[in-house]
Amino acid sequence: MSVSIVAVQPIVALVAGILILAMPRLLNYIVALYLIFVGVMGLIGNGTINL
């Protein structure tokens, strides 16, 4: 089963938003992890990183 990067990002954003609403103290960590995730997915999607 193959999952497109385009399909994964909204799911991650939704989970991050729910976690921020539930635990506002985690905002910095959630934003940092989301940005790292999106950056890595963007690099993999562009073919810059071959895994």
Mean of the pLDDT values across residues 20-35? 85
For residue 41, pLDDT beyond 60: yes
* Residue position matching structure tokens 């990002």: 9
pLDDT of residue 47: 58
What is the C-alpha to C-alpha distance for residues 3 and 21, in angstroms, rounded to an integer?
A: 27
For residue 9, pLDDT beyond 70: yes
For residue 51, pLDDT beyond 60: no
Mean of the pLDDT values across residues 35-51? 73
